[in-house]
Amino acid sequence: MKLAFFDTKSYDREVFEPKLKKSKIRVKFFDTRLCEDNIALAKGFDAVCVFVNDEVNSKVIDTLGSYGVKFIALRCAGFNNVDYKYAAEKGISVVRVPAYSPYAVAEHAMALLLTINRKIHKAYLRTRDFNFALKGLTGFDLHGKTVGVIGTGKIGRVFIDICKGFGMNVIAYDKFPMEGSDIDYRSLEEVYRDSDIISFHCPLTEETYHMFNLGTINKVKKGVVIINTSRGALIDSEALLKGLLQKKIGATCLDVYEEESGYFYEDFSGEIISDEVLSRLISLPNVIVTSHQAFLTKEALENIADTTIENLITLEKEGTSPNEVK
């Protein structure tokens, strides 16, 4: 099998390259994202490997099909950036990595919460300049606070366990509640209304797109903390900014952003960012933005590589895979 590997970063090469050599899959790494403008790079390959910000729409799939590409391998859990139904119509199989390390993402969500609450990022910068003043660094006890978890898949459940370890009250919403669990499921409106902290851990679908918007912001507690380590478009960014400016939302932690594909994973430190909403969010003192790094642990990278390669080998041998998106 010949594999075109898109949106390659140094950590991808370090983990994937030795494993791919052992698997005898021939690979070419491309730094660029897969999209309509550079689809020609996929010509001559049997499969493409893509990540969260590659754009695999119907036009890209049409071209992939004309090139004889048979497989699209996502090295992530989410698949909202791939028109998988259209791919199926064209005879192209789509596989993903449904579980690589729920601990990585859940732990990052808690790290963001602790940082924004106890102002760790500000204290770090101050003490680097030998400024040991405590003014403006007051936080609140997590113990006894109510956290609303939206989405109780593997990541959501790990986050729930972490929150319980801090002595927090946990309520949750999921369209498909986990049977036999001790999770305190509530309606979505109740989660918005009663939570001091709300953390998103659900996939992006037509139904969940902008599920947190101006209407829902009006339902939350004043001063609520919002955490999103799932998919950016779960939250209407303009509405989020408005809620922050009106002081309805107390703080926000984002590892994802709905228009991140043009910025995240790249260095724009010497340039002017044209996305006014993102620029304004980052400038606010009660907002932390990390660049979709919640997954980035050694364990997760190893699991992602192993599962991605196994997906491709299984597809080639058997024509299907347990991790196929259907």
Residues annotated catalytic, as ranges: 231, 260, 292
Q: How far apart are CA 253 and CA 224, in angstroms?
A: 11
- Residue 244 vs residues 158, 214, 262: alpha-carbon distances, Å: 28, 11, 24
CB 80 within 8 A of CB 74: no
- Collect all residues with Cβ–Cβ distance below 8 Å to 134 and sequence separation of at least 6: none
The C-alpha angle with vertex 174 and arms to 169 and 176, in degrees rounded to 5, equals 135
Q: Which two tokens stand for residue 272?
A: 């002017």
Q: Where are the beta strands (DSSP E) in the chain?
A: 2-5, 26-29, 47-50, 71-74, 93-95, 146-150, 169-173, 197-200, 224-228, 249-254, 287-289
Q: Which of 228, 188, 186, 183 is nearest to 204 (CA)?
A: 228
Other CB atoms within 10 A of residue 308 CB: 25
Q: How far apart are CA 69 and CA 4, in angstroms?
A: 10
